[in-house]
Structure 1
Amino acid sequence: MNVLIVYAHPEPRSLNGSLKDFSVKRLEDAGHIVQVSDLYAMNWKASLDANDSLDRQPGARFDPSLDSKRAFKDGRQSQDIALEQEKLRWADAVILQFPLWWFSMPAILKGWVERVYAYGFAYGVGEHSDARWGDRYGEGSMAGKRAMLVVTTGGWESHYSPRGINGPIDDVLFPIQHGILYYPGFDVLPPFVIHRTSRIDEARFAGVQDALGKRLDDLWKTAPIPFRPQNAGAYDIPALTLRSDVAADQIGFSAHIE
């Protein structure tokens, strides 16, 4: 299988760097083909702007969505964007690996999403009508592919527990897992999270490697998070709210998981 690791940490000798190298070796030893987009090493441009389209008229008003749509449709995107899109097409599975900074991914990785997820590539696809609202949330250009987060945090596991001060880790990661990965159709696996990174000694590092290795070995066996598909009947369209008889006693993120 083809695996793309999109990696965002500025220090190659960090815990993240060591785990990324471990993942590449583990996957390749199992016979998989691996590509790594090391965003800091690539000097990835994080900001989505007018320069992402190669044929804009000087002085023209920049419209992020419409310019993205035209550039993707006409093959006039900047080359760095097009190359990353090709990697996504190639991949059977995608791993996003990053440290949790201020309750989200590093800016460079968010910028990768904003630029690579072009209109017509990852969003704005499919029929929009009173029966369907596009190919998204379980459908779309990434349907049939798997995705997983590998995330490190400085906080304790208890800080991200159901009653922890930082909020449940599944809630913290919901915008990424549901909104960035499930939206264009990925089957999203439960995340692999390493807590309290500043307290990892040699023995604990060995345990983290073992646990991550098992997750990588089971990349095609692990059941995905059972997010509710948008167009399968659970949601009223075009309001895109859950039907009154679906998860009637639930609100918030958990209502969107079967």
Structure 2
Amino acid sequence: MKTLIIYTHPNHQSLSYAFLQKVVQGSRENPKISEVRVLDLYEEGFNPVLVFNEHKRRRDMHADPDLAIYREQLSWAEKIVFVYPIWWGRPPAMLMGYIDQMFSSGFAYKDKGGMLPEGLLKGKSVVCISSMKGPVLYPLYWLNNAHKVLMKKALFNYVGIKKVKFFEFGSMESPRGKQQQKLEKVYDYFKTVER
């Protein structure tokens, strides 16, 4: 299983970075995972800003040569892992800018003229690992589960990815947040996951 980890946090001293390290460690110890690649969007200097003008049109985004390396990574991966914090009830703008550009028509999906498109990323699986300052039930009860709905239904299911798992950890700035226990939970999952 070829695994691409997309990490989105500007601070390598953060808890998100500790989760990244556990994903990498568990994946490298898992005999079912043949190769691991990490894309650190901030370290990479990924430009999340959409630009459309007389030279760049939205309908051509799937063939933008500046994004070819990122399309290759997504095509290569069988499992895609996103590691990011929840800020204002959603992933960071950097990650949303990546999603806006990479999950484009002609690459991630194809319009068929009906209500739903043909997903072109079928057969892949996704894991989202997110952490937040607020309590874990805050997104569910206060925000109507907006984060999971956005990621699973509005994005991944739309492009054909049906297998989506979430690790959504709350109270991560609390001394009672059980951070080490949650880091080990992520490590154990990636050490043993089969698909």
Tell me, yes or no, whether TM beats 0.5: yes
Q: What SS class does the counterpart of residue 157 from structure 1 fall into?
A: coil
- Asked whether the equivalents of residues 30 and 193 of structure 2 are also in contact (C-alpha less than 8 Å), the reply is no
Question: Does 2:173 match 1:198?
Answer: yes
Aligned length: 193
Within 5 A, what are the aligned runs for 1:1-258? 1-31=1-31, 32=33, 33-50=35-52, 60=54, 63-64=57-58, 66-68=59-61, 72=63, 77-79=64-66, 81-123=67-109, 125=110, 127-128=112-113, 133-135=116-118, 140-161=119-140, 164=141, 166-168=142-144, 170-200=145-175, 204-217=178-191, 219-220=193-194
Amino acid at match of 2:65: S
Q: Distance in 2 between matches of 1:185 and 1:22?
A: 28
Identify which of structures 1 and 2 has the higher relative contact order when contacts are C-alpha pairs closer than 8 Å and 6+ apart.
2
Greater Cα radius of gyration, structure 1 or 2: 1
Question: Structure 1 stretches (4+) deviating beyond 4 angstroms?
Answer: none
User: Structure 1: which 5+ residue stretches go unaligned?
Assistant: 51-58, 222-258
Unaligned runs of 5+ residues in structure 2 are none
| Deviation (angstroms), 1:84 | 0.9
Coordinate RMSD, CA, aligned: 2.3
TM-score, normalised by the number of residues in structure 1: 0.68
Per-residue CA deviation, residues 68-114 of structure 1 (Å, 9 max, x unaligned), is 25xx2xxxx233x1111111111111011111111111111111111
Structure ranking higher in strand proportion: 2
Q: Secondary structure at the match of 1:198?
A: coil
User: Offset at 1:156?
Assistant: 1.0
CA contact (8 A) 2:121 2:161 kept: yes
How many percent of aligned residue pairs carry the same amino acid?
A: 20
Alpha-carbon distance between aligned partners in 2 of 1:5 and 1:144, rounded to the nearest angstrom: 17
